[in-house]
Structure 1
Amino acid sequence: MSVQEGHNSIDEQTDSKTNVAVWEDVVNIKDLVLSLVICTVTTLGGYLLAPNEPPKPLFFGLVGAIIGFVTCSIIIKPKRTFHYIEEEDE
């Protein structure tokens, strides 16, 4: 059984204008920028809100990054669809 990626009802030309290849995967530019902004704000916010004792800014920044990641995974849904194709035995 092989897996083949397909597009939703968006035609190829419109799809290629709003998507960009990142690490050999195709992502929507709007979603990429939104996720970068969310993760930057939460990570930097955690870092700046931390007390000025040596390990705390690191931990607060890491917690902010995790919060940003979880937020992005809830807000931005995957747009990839998979179609399974049964291969005939030869």
Structure 2
Amino acid sequence: MPQQQDKRAAKLTGLALAGTGLAHFARPQLFEPITVPAFPQNTRRHIYTNGSIETLVGLALAGRKTRKLGVAGLLGYLAYLAGNTVRKR
């Protein structure tokens, strides 16, 4: 039973991340305060780029067959965000 719960949690986490990614397109102004420190130039373009990445990674996490790829994508995405934040400070 715990394994089933882990799968459900992974699916819900992936869908939540995909929903957040889509929100970047619906309400980009909500993401400006957290995007500007890492991407002070062309912020709106980066909001849309981040939204695309989050949507794709979230959908990969939600799918059972693509979950490992989604985890790898998530780790790469987090490294990308952290690297940009550190570099811009």
Question: Per the shorter chain, which TM-score range?
Answer: 0.3 to 0.5
Q: Which has the higher helix share?
A: 2
RCO higher in 1 or 2 (8 Å CA, sep ≥ 6)? 1
Q: Which has the higher strand share?
A: 1
TM-score (normalizing by structure 2) = 0.33
